[in-house]
Structure 1
Amino acid sequence: MDMLAQAFPVFLLILCRITAFFVAAPVFSSRGVPNHFKVGLAFSISLIAYLLFGLGISVPMDGVYVTYIIREIMIGLLIGFVAQLFFTIVQITGSFVDMQIGFGIANVVDPLTGMSSPVTGNFKYIFMILLFLGMNGHHYLIDAIMKSYQWLPIDSNSFFDQIQNGNIMNFVVTTFVQAFIIALQIAAPLIVSMFLADVALGFLAKTAPQFNIFVIGIPLKIILGLVVLLLTMPSMVYVMEHLFSKMFQALDELLRLFAKGGAS
């Protein structure tokens, strides 16, 4: 009975971190994954994490215990948010492209999140999810949350020190800027193509004013955008692999930041 009373607070903290991670992480947070499966998977991984990292740790359930729960939830959400950020930029890229092509008002419902998303962005997002699952990227996400217990154990309070020092905020801002730059790079071919098409239509409007540019321009930009999208699809695999490598690198940097706080 004493062993159970000692193990329960530690297991609950582990469960809070992993459950919060599943709430924010890509693939696992999808609406397509049944809730009972998420709960069962979180419980199973929490049990494994407790057997690996929680034995021998004692955490008293006093007034400070609520602070420990908040800390574990914040850690799980942060790790999941960093991974989800690189998936979100694909939909941001789709918004850029759809505004240029003319698909801006033709949003569809994303089956993974249940929210309205751009047509091109939703297509690339689903393609990215399939490629991510095909290369077993979800295994890396589980590995990242498990390694977080090595560099930021349950009984460590260095996480709040990193927040107070501004290291966590600087990391999140830097990662967001890098992700936004990658989004612009992904959308660059279509944006440049649409810009050249607008310039050509502008010259046509000046040289041949009898043509109705609105009638000609809209279908022309849609056709040109689809052609450019088709031509860039073979290279999309390499772009996604580069995006995944950046995501894994960001997670490694975050875990090293945890380790730095734990060492201090």
Structure 2
Amino acid sequence: MMEWLNEIPLFLLILVRISCFFITVPVFMTKTIPAPFKIGLAFFLAVIVTMSTDKSGIQAFSAEYIILIIKESLVGLGLGFIASILFYAIQLAGTFIDLQSGFAMGAVFDPQSGTNVNLTGRLKNVLATLFLFSLDGHHLLIRGVLESYQWIHVEALVPAMLDGRISTLLLETFKHSFVIAFLLAAPIVFTLFLVDLVLGIIGKTSPQINLMVVGFSLKIGVYFMVLFLALPGFFLLLHRLFAQMFDAISQMIRIMGASL
């Protein structure tokens, strides 16, 4: 019994990292997943990691322990945030598409993020989540945070938080996120731009045509046609996006685990 009491400080530190990871990582951060499920999953994962981690005799309720709690929370939030950056590229692509197609006025409330999102972004987000589940991506995310304990030890600090390497990685991830969002939105946005160009020429040559009625209906028809034609390419880009997401998590773990 005393041995378990001595392991409570270590268990709490491990629980902090896993819980903060679930707060920001895609799929698990959604409000549609019940909170008791996420709390229970984090608890039992923390128990498993505690049982497989070397006992280090961490002193609880000391200044060093408070610093370690802050460090563990930053590590968990950082690992989840860098994954969510790339996942938000899907939502950004939907925003680009809806601004061009006219569906931006029909933004709906998203229970997952708690904000208003565009229709196309919501559709692509659901498809991406299902695709991630089909690839067992949620298992890879959990494996990532569990393997982080092999690189980033609980009792050790993270020098990379002070030398700018993590900031550089985040900026690179933001750049890749915008590139992927542009590639996801490019087929529909470019096609709708051509439709607007043709409608503008028609409006100049035939002013008697009511473009407000004809143009909007035409753009909706072209939008749905290109959306379904571009679905195979969408899933190919999703495969690339998820590969970059797992690679970004791996790089973050290696940077945090490396010493100066």
Q: TM-score range by the shorter chain?
A: over 0.9
Deviates further, 242-251 or 14-23: 242-251
The corresponding residue for 2:146 is 146
Q: Give the CA deviation at 1:115.
A: 2.3
The corresponding residue for 1:233 is 231
The corresponding residue for 2:171 is 173
1:101 maps onto 2:101 in alignment? yes
Letter in 2 for 1:242: R
Deviates further, 93-102 or 250-259: 250-259
The corresponding residue for 1:81 is 81
The corresponding residue for 1:59 is 58
Distance 1:41 1:5 in 2: 21
Q: How does 1:1-264 map to 2 (within 5 A)?
A: 2-53=2-53, 55-61=54-60, 62-157=62-157, 159=158, 161-261=159-259, 264=260
Structure 2 residue ranges without an equivalent (≥5): none
Please provide the CA RMSD for this pair.
1.3
- For the residue of structure 2 that corresponds to 1:116, the secondary structure is strand
- Figure out how many residues of one structure are paired with residues of the other and give that number: 259
- For the residue of structure 1 that corresponds to 2:106, the secondary structure is coil
Could you report, residue by residue, the CA deviation over 1:168-196 in whole angstroms, capped at 9, with x for unpaired residues? Answer: 11111111111111101110111111111
Identity across the alignment (%): 35
Distance 2:232 2:183 in 1: 16
**Which runs of structure 1 show a deviation greater than 3 angstroms over 4 or more consecutive aligned residues?**
none
Distance 1:208 1:170 in 2: 54
Q: Give the CA deviation at 1:2.
A: 4.7
Q: Give the CA deviation at 1:211.
A: 1.4
Equivalent residues of 2:19, 2:76 under 8 A apart: yes
Distance 1:114 1:166 in 2: 32
Equivalent residues of 1:148, 1:258 under 8 A apart: no
Letter in 1 for 2:112: L
Distance 1:89 1:189 in 2: 15
Equivalent residues of 2:161, 2:256 under 8 A apart: no
TM-score (normalizing by structure 2): 0.95
Deviates further, 15-24 or 250-259: 250-259
Distance 1:192 1:20 in 2: 39
- For the residue of structure 1 that corresponds to 2:167, the secondary structure is helix
Q: Give the CA deviation at 1:212.
A: 2.1
Q: Give the CA deviation at 1:5.
A: 4.2
Distance 2:252 2:63 in 1: 29
Q: Give the CA deviation at 1:236.
A: 2.1
- For the residue of structure 2 that corresponds to 1:105, the secondary structure is helix
- For the residue of structure 2 that corresponds to 1:109, the secondary structure is strand
Deviates further, 62-71 or 1-10: 1-10
Equivalent residues of 1:13, 1:72 under 8 A apart: yes
Letter in 2 for 1:99: L
Structure 1 residue ranges without an equivalent (≥5): none
Letter in 1 for 2:70: I
Q: Give the CA deviation at 1:46.
A: 0.4
Q: Give the CA deviation at 1:4.
A: 3.5
Distance 2:172 2:193 in 1: 29
Could you report, residue by residue, the CA deviation over 1:23-58 in whole angstroms, capped at 9, with x for unpaired residues? Answer: 1111111111111111110000001111122x3212
